[in-house]
């Protein structure tokens, strides 16, 4: 199916179910209750439906975490970055990350590296065209383009044309099937570790939503989604190691932070 007939197909399906005043989600849940669909299939089906409401911005790797290389650098530097980060596709930029001019794939660098070609040559001869999507792009559409154009990576741009981040096929598939650990993924520390007696250790990236749902720690913000972002917003700068905040009857202590991020936070009840 092409992209157009794909979305027409889905529209038809939605309309069939909407006619009866039910939506597709309810039908799927009913089918689960009746034992017609297995639990793990239900969550995948529901995840597929929620792709409609998920944008590139929601799932992208932010520009600060992108492994990217300069157009004026060398293929040796790009190869080193691939080895260092384990990422096989490296965006190449002109002057700043806001100007991505191509993507170098590890597969395209192997032949020149192995055949003794000049390792100091720039990566430009080995670049593929970048595919750009706006932050607001629905990821179901991005997935369709990945399929039809046989691509795996998109550069996400903000409304001013600057680079916001990147999204790969794996990020979208993870939205459907859950986290995929590939052989190069570093094992990420648990976002929330329960230390007992009401004490928690949080990674700075812990989502506020997860704290509210899983631990009844309700911290709301219009601006940020993570605990690291929340404490940074509160302090008006990146908080320092050892700094403490009293919030929602608990003490939040910055356990580790570097110049750019809050890495871990200890949470304890005020009474201890």
Which lies closer to ligand ADP via its Cβ, residue 86 or residue 198? Answer: 86
Give phi and psi for 4, each to the nearest 5: -65, -50
Q: Cβ 12 to ligand ADP, closest distance in Å? A: 32
Q: Any contact of residue 202 with ligand ADP (CB under 6 A)? A: no
Q: Any contact of residue 46 with ligand ADP (CB under 6 A)? A: no
Q: What residues are paired with 253 via a beta bridge?
A: 244, 266
Which lies closer to ligand ADP via its Cβ, residue 25 or residue 138? Answer: 138
The answer to whether 176 and 49 have CB atoms below 8 angstroms apart is no
Q: What residues are paired with 251 via a beta bridge?
A: 246, 268
Q: Is 118 helix (H, G, I), strand (E, B) or coil?
A: coil
Tokens of 224: 């940020």
Which among 83-91, 110-118, 202-210, 237-245 is the span making contact with ligand ADP, rule CB under 6 A?
83-91
DSSP secondary structure string for all residues of 50-65: HGGG-BHHHHPEEGGG
Which lies closer to ligand ADP via its Cβ, residue 123 or residue 239? Answer: 123
CA 187 vs CA 79, 254, 264: distances in Å: 23, 22, 16
Site for ligand ADP in 174-193 (CB under 6 A): 182, 184
- 10 Å Cβ neighbour count for 265? 24
For residues 247 and 218, what is the distance between their CA atoms, to the nearest angstrom?
Answer: 10
For residues 209 and 179, what is the distance between their CA atoms, to the nearest angstrom?
Answer: 18
Q: Any contact of residue 88 with ligand ADP (CB under 6 A)? A: yes
Q: Any contact of residue 61 with ligand ADP (CB under 6 A)? A: yes
Q: Any contact of residue 156 with ligand ADP (CB under 6 A)? A: no
Which lies closer to ligand ADP via its Cβ, residue 87 or residue 250? Answer: 87
Q: Any contact of residue 78 with ligand ADP (CB under 6 A)? A: no
Can you tell me which of 57, 75, 171, 172 binds ligand ADP, judged by CB under 6 A?
A: 171
Can you tell me which of 23, 40, 41, 170 binds ligand ADP, judged by CB under 6 A?
A: 170
The answer to whether 156 and 148 have CB atoms below 8 angstroms apart is no
Q: Any contact of residue 87 with ligand ADP (CB under 6 A)? A: yes
Q: Cβ 166 to ligand ADP, closest distance in Å? A: 6
Contacts (Cβ under 8 Å, ≥6 apart) of 185: 86
Q: Cβ 247 to ligand ADP, closest distance in Å? A: 30
What does the binding site for ligand ADP look like in residue numbers (CB under 6 A)?
61, 65-67, 86-90, 152, 166, 168-171, 182, 184
């Amino acid at each position: 199916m092409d992209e157009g007939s794909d979305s027409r197909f889905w529209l038809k399906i939605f309309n069939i179910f909407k006619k009866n005043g039910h939506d597709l989600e309810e039908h799927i849940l009913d089918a689960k209750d009746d034992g017609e669909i297995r639990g793990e299939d239900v969550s995948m089906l529901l995840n597929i439906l929620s792709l409609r409401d998920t944008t590139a911005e929601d799932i992208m790797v932010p520009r600060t975490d992108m492994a990217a290389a300069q157009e004026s650098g060398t293929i040796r530097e790009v190869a080193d970055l691939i080895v260092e980060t384990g990422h096989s596709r490296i965006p190449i930029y002109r002057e700043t990350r806001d100007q991505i001019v191509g993507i170098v794939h590890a597969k395209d660098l192997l032949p020149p590296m192995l055949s003794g070609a000049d390792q100091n040559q720039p990566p430009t001869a080995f670049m593929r065209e970048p595919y750009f999507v706006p932050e607001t792009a629905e990821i179901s559409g991005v997935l369709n383009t990945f399929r039809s154009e046989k691509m795996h990576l998109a550069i996400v741009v903000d409304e001013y044309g600057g680079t916001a981040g990147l999204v790969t096929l794996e990020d979208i598939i993870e939205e459907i099937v859950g986290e995929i650990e590939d052989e190069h993924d570093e094992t990420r520390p648990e976002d929330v570790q329960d230390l007992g007696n009401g004490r928690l250790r949080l990674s700075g990236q812990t989502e506020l939503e997860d704290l509210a749902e899983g631990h009844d720690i309700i911290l709301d913000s219009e601006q940020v989604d993570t605990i690291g972002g929340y404490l940074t917003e509160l302090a008006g700068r990146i908080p320092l190691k050892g700094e403490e905040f009293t919030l929602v009857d608990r003490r939040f202590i910055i356990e580790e932070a570097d110049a750019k991020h809050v890495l871990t936070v200890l949470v304890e009840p005020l009474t201890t």
